[in-house]
Structure 1
Amino acid sequence: MKRHNLAIALSALLVSGTASAELFLSEHIEGSSNNKALEIFNPGDTAVDLSTYTIEIYSNGGTSASQTIQLSGTLDANGIYVVAHPSANADILALANQTGNLYYNGDDAIVFKNGADVVDAMGQVGVDPGTAWESNGVSMQNQTIRRKSTVTAGDTDVTDEFLPDVEWDAYPIDDISNLGSHNGFGSTPPDPEPEPEPEPSPELGACGDPATFIHQVQGSSLSESGAASPLVDEVVTVEAVVTGVYTDGAKPLNGFFLQEEDADNDADPNSSEGIFVYLPEGTAPTVGQVVRLQGEVAEYYNATQLSFVSEIVVCSEGATVTPAVLELPLSSRDEFERFEGMLVASANPLVVTGNETIAQYGEFWVADERIMSPTEIAEPGDAANAYAALKDSRQFLIDDAQGGASPAVVPFPPGGLSAENTLRLGTEITNAQGIIHYGFSEYRLLPTVDLQFVDVNPRTAEPDAAAQGDVRVAVFNVLNLFNGDGQGGGFPTERGATNVMEYERQLPKAVAAIIGLGADVVGVTEIENDGNGENSMIAQLTAALNAEGSGEWAFVDFGGRVGTDAITNQIVYRTDRVEATGTGVFTTAEPFDYGNRPPVAQTFKDLVNEDEFTFVVTHLRSKGSCGSATGGDADADDGQGCWNATRVAAVEKMQEWLAGDPTGRIVADVLVMGDMNAYTMEDPIAAMVAGGFSNLKADFADGATTHTYVYQNESGSLDHAFASAELTEKVVAAQAWHINADEPEVFDYNLEYKENGLEETYYAPDQYRSSDHDPVIVAFTTVANDPTDEGDGDADVEEPPAEEEEHENIDHATTSSSFPLWLVLSGLFLGLVRRRV
């Protein structure tokens, strides 16, 4: 944005904030993972309609909102309203009045508005503070901050300097002890039992007497948020079969489910025959009993239930109901409402599509088939959007019916989840049966039978391509592999491990993955950009590879830092398999000066046939931080996200760069691999193909899944391999090795949410969940005395001019003799542990 346009935008926003308002932000949570929440306080003496209020997020100094959350409902005088990230932990969600897209970091500005008027603001719109808004130890990053008791109104100037310590107090990360209250007002969301207690109800009557049918209580409206019972607040008598009881465990549901006998079902397919009965005290009935009871109809966070049960009479034993048939996809997500509280059985096997929160909450996602990222399989635009629209009608959660976070035992899969007993995406469940319950804004199945898991996507010790071809080349996103100061200190760093313990868990997993690939050359992305000295990350990774005794590993010397980003691209290779020729190079020409990391290139020669190829590692700009994206980079709502034009420009510039033989070797065999941050059907991939490169992974798929990444339960390929026409003829295999994307995130190196022994239960120093991306490997043959040789005896190579010989690349195989002793010892220990497992 030009300077005068920026000024106009900020002036307009500032003018809109001249009106005063009563509400203001009273608490800001920026915690671990997605634990983000905002608290709003009404200090006035009248209730406020929230339907005109919005929360706007301004990312990375942007002047237009990257996310807008529309509020709803009414906020009472001296009341509290909490908005939480939909994937925040259960304790936060239990305190939330609403969920919304709170995708903010500590350096983003937050604006609270009533219509066009600014009510309050945090941060400074149009300014990027760097890491976070921070002053005198009070920060919007990795802290909970609360408004000082002396503050009685919001900051309506979005452009004034923001010093958090002036109006805010700091508390530890993930501290939610005061969420839902401010200055003595407010409390946690009400228990399902409201006060005061209801008036005495009519007589219960005898078993068999007339009663209200459950389908009358549930009604037939199909709407997730608008399907309230037509009998809310009424006391009803029901008589039905107990289908599930959930009163045991650390944090049980404290109740049971009832369903009408088959003979009492109505003819309306949109009305549910089941309901949850909240019973926090007393003795619950058992499954199979027909019971008669009275209770008050209530809506608890959009789930219909019976509360204040006054009396339960058992009418008979051994009753059963026929499970309703659940066949996916449904016509819409709202159609799940007609199964709320009911016993159901899936008409077909279900496929595990999401396992991100399985260890944290004992839940995982299933669908009728693996859900793909829309632009992985469909053209951007209408086709991709049409596929995306089906997602919510195809998936739901399977839940262990326990509240709280990080349970000691997760019952899925059979035997309990652990690093050795995984639940991978793609696993099939052949007998899904249970009760559909609505909680934490999602529909979830509570199993009533022992689920049968079929592992149709098992772990593999190595990729098939590892045993093919003469040369194997791979690329691996190492998920922010940072080593602090390289001597055991310097943590936390800008990215990656937060302490040395986490780093010592992360490094062995990365090493296991690289060695397991069986590749001769490996490009790595998302590695720390700290040069190539003995304490650099690339040097220590190389030494750790050599400590495993799997070959003579070296790294390409690019002369120090590669670009200015915190992360970079690097190359390691086995000197007993290939030899580096020419010069290791990179380019920072626009658009590789910012966002797109500089691509690195090195030419190698196969030691057997002396056939040469040039290998390029690239990492294009991500789809995030859209606030400052304009023009062709703005999100076009076609499925490609923001910064698409920048990624396409990077592809075109990289091809232009490679056409000049930057390594000093004129080589026809060129292999480009890396994290493109673009799915298979998107423009950057099409641009690579249009430039004369073949999409190897797609060409060699042969029905196999080629995804390398999973986001919001959608599988797609961000990591790709492209070959020049000459090299394509030699390729015999190209595949993704599914060691990461399909595995539960909890198996990674992080220690968060893994107390009381879980840090060992969920960790192994192996390749599984060594990153969030799957590596990609390509195998190809080499040719001795290739007929396409350009005259020097080496296949496909023309010798550079004689004066360039002095620029021969110098490669460093860092050994333990120059490696910090603390890491050598820990590496040897972990190696012993690994070999004993």
Structure 2
Amino acid sequence: MKRHNLALAVSALLASGAANADIIISEYIEGSSNNKAVEFYNAGSTEINLSTYALEIYSNGGTEAGNTVPLAGTLPANGIYVIAHPSANAEIQAIADKTGNLYYNGNDALVLKNGDTVVDSMGQVGVDEVWASGGVSMKDQTIRRKDTITAGDTDPSDAYAPGDEFNGFDIDDISNLGMHLGYGESQPEPEPEPAPEFGACGDSATLISAVQGSGLSSPMVDSEVVIEAVVTGVYLDGERPLNGFFLQEEDADQDGDATTSEGIFVYHQDTAVAAGDTVRLAGSVAEYYDSTQVSNITNISVCASGASVTPASFSVPVESMNEFEAIEGMLVSVSHPVIVTNTDSLGQYGDFWVAHERLYVPTQVAAPVENNNVNVRLNGFSIDDARSVTNAEDVPFPAGGLSAMNSLRLGTEITNPTGIINYSFSEYRLLPTAELQYVDTNPRTDAPELAAEGDLRIASFNVENFFNGDGQGEGFPTERGADSVAEYDRQLAKLVAAITSMNADIIGLNEIENDGFGDNSAIAQLVAEVNAQSDVEWAFVSFGDASYIGGDAITNALIYRTDRVAETGTAVFTTDVPFDFGSRPPIAQTFHDIANEDEVTVVVNHFRSKGGCSNSAAEGDQDNGDGQGCWNATRVEAAETLMAWVANNPTGRAVDDVILIGDFNAYGMEDPIQALVDGGYTDLQMAELGAENHTYVYQGLSGSLDHAFGSASLTEKVVATANWNINSDEPKVFDYNTEFKSEVNMANYYNDDPYRSSDHDPVVVAMTTEQGDTGDNDGGDPDVDDGGSAPPTDEVPNLDHATTSGSFPIWLGLGALFLGLVRRRV
């Protein structure tokens, strides 16, 4: 136990000018399991109202708080306040003043704020590391503020060394929790306020606005109150309901203060009430996981029925989360339509996110800048089915219930939703009290829609870790992708449906298993199934004697329609730095259009991803907070190396028309993309679709990681470019996975169609071809120089599929003559 001499404590406070100090974090526990707690000490000389204070937790180097834990009540000078994890052990819980979402580890930064002002901090926001120094660590230790530290660290972005201000103790040591500088050991418990008289319906009562207060938590926690108000929503029935109802003050009793809520949740299961009832009740005020409620009901009467309240008008975006707090528990009507922006948890938890508009990754639409992030919570909110059930078989959104044939796509408009704002699981959620009105502003399409057809289409498609086990029905689970043959069959069917509906002639694939080109390989079996389901013949580009392309588990691939194009070059790849590790080796092949014999070189790419740099990356590859993530310098190097490689005509065909496609793991305005543009390539999506285009959605933010870039001559031939949004806009529950799905859900959520065949959308480019000659026939093509440089020695030639004048089939030439006369797509 800490037993400090009081004179020492007082002198320390005086020496540091603590009369003007604020609250500090005095103890931090990162114990085993969920034994986590944070202690706060009022180092000032006056009582502090805690309702405006909140502890923010920034996880894994994030620049946006993942959890926010409001403080509550008041804290006298030299007072101690403890928040514990809700699943901490009984000893910690007995000391704690409240529980909250203390989901942190030793690499997560903590910031204590009073409103928007930083009061104290631990760790370094935006940096992912376990902070430790001088034997003191934020991981697996209890650490206590040194006696000489009486003011907080108000710069959460500076380098952090916990040993400078804290002393370290063993894991799970709670012997001093609730005490600091000799205070907190014998503070007398305040005498409880006498419970108010219950009275009769119509008598005076405590206003809900007074219970809610203007801060993040109630100023009346643990107080006994009597309130009388109108029931706006009842959640007593159904599977794992909320077990209570919401009350809102009559219009005439509202206080007119926009910062105080007029609604509140009542946790009570034993009295039947209905919306429109006027109810008088007595109970105690509590903060349950940071949501204000009245519980422990001691008396309740239904005074009347048929009453109503006017929904509050609400709009997004908001400037701060206090605007949501001001309507917590209230019936609201959103004053404008909202757009569906995230359905990741729709199938699992029955909720989805909306905002005032589709939200884009900042670096998709603007150049990278410091502190580049979008706080999605300020831009929208969750719409929830008000149940705690997981993986329900009857998700009510959209109208008619969620199914593979009844999707809720991102971009769908919902007209002015009305409901109750509830706070749970760290989010503000609207619980609809009226049927949602959906406007299908982003319908599915059966095939990519392009402004013009062209006569040659080239596409890019990330197939999301397509692995086929051992290729003989065994070998599952695999390193990635399907965990069983059943999942493999479901994934294969959806991918084939997407490929055969894409109406493309050449498709570059990403994230296919890197297991060679034999009969049991993933690429061979994918193409075989495509041929089984298609009216035309497809082939894949092989790389001769190469068993693998690079050393990654996944690779790039090329497939094509043999009635449209033929290979004319030598299929190659390069493993030059940085394609030796992290960035998958780009592959290239030259094709000619059979009808016109016009040639194009197609290069498929998959640059290094944005995550996982930790401390192992060089400075330029660290996540510097500008929105480009990790390994940005490596991706820029990849872009520059790629252009140099392609300029050397690696397929052996000196062709001006070049298209670079694939997953570049960079959004539209990021440095690697700009490097390609500066190098003379046209961003074909930007040119036709503008900056607000997308092939991928992450945490509700849209953007394009998949791109198509054209050389100058090819760009002149492009007539249309499209992102076919069959995946990113669909609920992820529609994918091939069977985990956490009942038999009913596996049937209800799955269809062998293109929708959610992957997590990335295909990009399709349509172009015209020009009459030419590859050199296989008389004449000559000005685009082609047969004296192109030979492939570098570290590139593997395509021995099986190279087309030469000596091997060009007669039937292919006859087919070309026919297609030259009749140019139709099938």
User: What is the CA distance between 1:334 and its match in structure 2?
Assistant: 2.5
Distance change >3 Å, CA 477–CA 50, structure 1 → 2: farther
Return the offset for 1:26.
3.6
**Partner residue of 1:633 out of 621, 644, 647:** 621
Alpha-carbon distance, 1:418 to partner: 0.5
Look up the match of 1:304: 292
The answer to whether the 8 Å contact 1:54/1:113 transfers is no
With the length of structure 2 as denominator, give the TM-score of the two structures: 0.76
Identify if the C-alpha distance between structure 1 residues 100 and 414 changes in structure 2 by more than 3 Å, giving closer, same or farther.
farther
Compared with structure 1, are the counterparts of its residues 421 and 48 closer, same or farther at alpha carbon in structure 2 (3 Å cutoff)?
closer
Q: Does 1:353 align with 2:341?
A: yes
**What residue is the counterpart of 2:535 in the other structure?**
550
CA contact (8 A) 1:790 1:796 kept: no
Residue 203 of structure 1, CA deviation: 3.1
**Superposition pairs of residues 95-494 of structure 1, within 5 angstroms:** 97-100=101-104, 117-118=136-137, 201-221=195-215, 227-279=216-268, 281-382=269-370, 385=372, 388-389=373-374, 391-465=376-450, 468-494=453-479
Contact kept in structure 1, 2:653 and 2:788, CA below 8 Å: no
Distance change >3 Å, CA 56–CA 392, structure 1 → 2 = closer
C-alpha separation in 1, matches of 2:606 and 2:617:
19
Distance between the aligned counterparts of 1:390 and 1:708, measured in 2? 21
Deviations 1:746-788 (A, max 9, x none): 0000111112421111111110000000010000000003899
Aligned to 1:128: none
Which whole-Å deviations, capped at 9, do the CAs of 1:543-564 have from their partners, x for residues lacking one?
1111113311111012321100
Contact 1:214 1:275 (C-alpha < 8 Å) held by counterparts: yes
Structure 1 residues 200 and 466 mapped into 2: Cα distance closer, same or farther (>3 Å)? same
Partner of 2:122: none
- Structure 1 stretch 543-552 or stretch 420-429: which is displaced more? 543-552
Give the conservation status (yes or no) of the 8 Å contact 1:412–1:423.
yes
1:579 aligns with 2:569: no
1: CA distance between counterparts of 2:379 and 2:437?
A: 20
- Does the alignment pair 1:766 with 2:725? no
Deviation at residue 284 of structure 1 after TM alignment = 2.9
Deviations 1:795-827 (A, max 9, x none): 5111247999x96652399xxxxxxxxxxxxxx
For 1:673, which of 661, 675, 678 is the aligned residue?
661
User: Is the contact between residue 792 and residue 799 of structure 1 (CA under 8 Å) also seen in structure 2?
Assistant: no
Q: Which residue of 2 aligns with 1:728?
A: 715
Q: CA deviation at 1:698?
A: 1.0
**1:533 corresponds to:** 518
**What's the % identity of the aligned pairs?**
54
Structure 1 residue 40, shift from structure 2 partner: 3.2
Judged with a 3 Å threshold, the aligned counterparts in structure 2 of structure 1 residues 542 and 708 are, in CA distance, closer, same or farther, namely same
Equivalent runs, 1:553-702 vs 2, <5 Å: 553-558=538-543, 559-627=546-614, 628-701=616-689
Shift in Å at residue 332 of structure 1?
Answer: 1.6
Question: Would you say the 8 A contact 1:251–1:403 is kept in 2?
Answer: yes
Aligned to 1:835: none
Q: Distance in 2 between matches of 1:22 and 1:667?
A: 64
> Displacement of 1:542 after TM fit?
0.9
- Structure 1 distance, partners of 2:452, 2:57, is 55
**How many angstroms apart in 2 are the aligned matches of 1:96 and 1:522?**
50
Question: How far apart are the structure 2 equivalents of 1:744 and 1:652?
Answer: 36
Q: Partner letter of residue 278 of structure 1?
A: Y
Could you tell me which amino acid in structure 2 is paired with residue 313 of structure 1? S
Deviates more, 1:283-292 or 1:655-664: 283-292
Change in Cα spacing, 1:356 to 1:393, as seen in structure 2 (3 Å) is same
Q: Is the 8 A contact 2:106 2:138 kept in 1?
A: no
1:810 to 797, 800, 818: 800
Distance 1:812-1:432 versus aligned 2 partners, 3 A rule: farther
Counterpart contact for 2:344–2:352, Cα < 8 Å: yes
Q: How far does the alpha carbon of each residue in 1:524-573 deviate from its partner, in whole angstroms, 9 at most, with x for none?
A: 00110111111111111111111113311111012321100011100000
2:703 to 716, 721, 742: 716
Q: Contact between 2:587 and 2:603, CA under 8 Å: does it hold in 1?
A: yes
Task: Please give the alpha-carbon distance, in whole angstroms, between the structure 1 residues aligned to 2:222 and 2:617.
Answer: 49
Q: Say if 1:119 and 1:728 are closer, same or farther in 2 by CA, change over 3 A.
A: closer
Quick check: 1:406–1:754 contact (8 Å CA) kept in 2? Answer: yes
**Separation of aligned partners in 1, 2:396 and 2:326:** 28
Secondary structure in structure 1 of the residue aligned to 2:498: helix
Confirm or deny: 8 A CA contact 1:790 1:797 kept in the other structure.
no
Give 1:419 shift.
Answer: 0.5
Structure 1 552/50 Cα, relative in aligned 2: closer, same or farther at 3 Å? farther
Q: Tell me the equivalent position of 1:4.
A: none
Amino acid at match of 2:236: T
2:259, 2:65 → 1: CA distance? 34
Q: What secondary structure, in the 3-state scheme, does the structure 2 residue paired with 1:397 have?
A: strand
- Listed one character per residue, the Cα deviations across residues 624-655 of structure 1 (whole Å, up to 9, x for unaligned) are 00212221111121111111100000000000
Structure 2 unaligned regions, length at least 5? 1-26, 42-54, 70-81, 94-98, 109-127, 142-168, 174-191, 804-826
User: Cα 1:434–1:155, aligned 2, differ >3 Å: closer, same or farther?
Assistant: closer
CA distance, structure 2, for counterparts of residue 803 and residue 24 of structure 1: 61
SS at match of 1:626: coil
Shift of 1:56: 11
- Matching residue of 1:184: none
CA contact (8 A) 2:621 2:630 kept: yes
Distance 1:414 1:283 in 2: 31
Could you list the per-position Cα deviations for residues 343-395 of structure 1 after superposition, in whole angstroms to 9, with x for gaps in the alignment?
A: 0001100000000000100000000000111111121005x72xx35532111
SS class of match (2:568):
strand
Matches of 2:284 and 2:246, distance apart in 1: 15
Deviation string, structure 1 residues 127-156 (Cα, Å, up to 9, x no partner) = xxxxxxxxxxxxxxxxxxxxxxxxx97699
| Cα distance in 2 for residues equivalent to 1:467 and 1:347 | 39
Asked if the contact 1:787/1:795 (under 8 Å) is kept, the reply is no
**SS at structure 2 position matched to 1:729:** helix
After TM superposition, give the deviation of residue 336 of structure 1 in Å.
Answer: 0.6
* Residue type at the aligned position of 1:228: S
Structure 1 residue corresponding to 2:485, chosen from 486, 500, 507 = 500
Deviation for aligned residue 1:333:
2.4
Residues 392-433 of structure 1: CA deviation (Å, up to 9, x unaligned): 211100000000211120000011000110000000000300
1:56·1:110 contact (CA, 8 Å) conserved in 2?
no
Q: Secondary structure at the match of 1:572?
A: strand
* The structure with more radius of gyration: 2
In 2, Cα distance between equivalents of 1:154 and 1:557: 57
Q: 2: distance between equivalents of 1:372 and 1:115?
A: 43
Letter of the structure 1 residue corresponding to residue 448 of structure 2: P
Alignment of 1:58-97 (within 5 A): 73-74=83-84, 79=91, 97=101
Per-residue CA deviations over 1:136-190 (Å, capped at 9, x if unaligned) read: xxxxxxxxxxxxxxxx97699xxxxxxxxxxxxxxxxxxxxxxxxxxxxxxxxxx
- Kept in 1, the 8 Å contact 2:246–2:264? The answer is yes
8 A contact 2:84–2:92 mirrored in 1: no
Give the conservation status (yes or no) of the 8 Å contact 1:740–1:770. Answer: yes
Unpaired runs of 5+ in structure 1? 1-20, 28-38, 42-46, 82-94, 123-151, 157-197, 222-226, 814-837
User: In 1, are the aligned partners of 2:527 and 2:539 still within 8 Å (CA)?
Assistant: yes
From the superposition, tell whether residues 102 and 340 of structure 1 become closer, same or farther in structure 2 (CA, over 3 Å): farther
Distance 1:782 1:297 in 2: 74
